Amino acid sequence: MKAGTDLAQIGSLVGDPARANMLAALMGGTALTASELALEAGVALPTASAHLAKLSDGGLVSVARQGRHRYYALADHRVAAMLENIMGVAATLGPKRVLPGPRDKAMRDARVCYDHLAGEMGVAMLDSFVGRGLIRVDGERAEMSSAGASYFAGLGIDLDTMGRKRRPVCRTCLDWSVRRSHLAGGLGAAMLECILTRGWARREKDSRVIRFTPMGRREFEMMLRG
């Protein structure tokens, strides 16, 4: 009975189309203002405001006031993982999903999940790190080996400051399209940033898709081979 109440509370938050669209938009990882989310959800500003208040009260999103703006973001990597999970179930359950279009294909290949790389390439990346002994995985938790520490430092990632933050360095997150884990946590975010700043790939506008350049893909694959 108590368990059911908990379920229902979260479910009803996610269950409204406008709120679901907002959450889906926030899965892109960038914080968005109330107006942007209203547009995204296709509702008027007052309506969006009410929805965002509920999401915020419910703990699914966080707010950061900045001047006259209010930036909303997913509260937590766990919330992001939960949404990915639900999407995954929806994908397998969906009435009969028509053959995946090109947009879908790109999403499966590489996309942003909250703030790290997901999709086939994200899964391949974690696989490589694990295979080379740089990271050890244990359920949702994961940890870096000493070999990993020197390797990631060599990529120019600042592990010291990362280690001091509250956020765990290594996490895994279940990928809904591949149904396997990809790398999340501070390191996952840093790796995505690394990929983007090196120009291997760039984010597609208004979507979660990450497009690798042909060159970038080659570089990325070389990195995975070690």
Partner DNA sequence: TTCATACTTCGATCATAAGCAAACTATCTT
Partner DNA sequence: AAGATAGTTTGCTTATGATCGAAGTATGAA
Binding-site ranges for DNA (CB under 7 A): 12, 16-18, 33-35, 43-54, 67-70
> Out of 65, 67, 68, 94, which residue is the one contacting its own copies (CB under 8 A)?
94
- Residue 19 sits in the site that holds its own copies (CB under 8 A): yes
Residues 6+ apart with CB under 8 A from 195: 117, 201, 210, 216, 220
Name the residue nearer to its own copies (CB basis): 84 or 151.
Answer: 84
In a 3-state reduction of DSSP, which class is residue 6? helix
Binding status of residue 81 toward its own copies by CB under 8 A: yes
5 forms part of the interface with its own copies (CB under 8 A): yes
Burial of 86 per CB tally in 10 Å (0-12, 13-18, 19+) = middle
Segment contacting its own copies (CB under 8 A): 19-27, 29-37, 143-151, 215-223?
19-27
Is 211 within 8 Å of 106 (Cβ atoms)?
yes
Residue whose CB is less far from DNA, 20 or 159: 20
From 62-70, 88-96, 153-161, 214-222, span contacting its own copies (CB under 8 A): 88-96
Alpha carbon distances (Å) from 8 to 3, 16, 49, 176? 9, 12, 22, 22
Say whether residue 29 binds its own copies (CB under 8 A).
no
For its own copies (CB under 8 A), the number of binding residues is 59
Let me know how long the chain is. 226
Minimum CB separation of residue 219 from its own copies in Å reads 25
* Separation of alpha carbons 203 and 217, rounded Å: 14
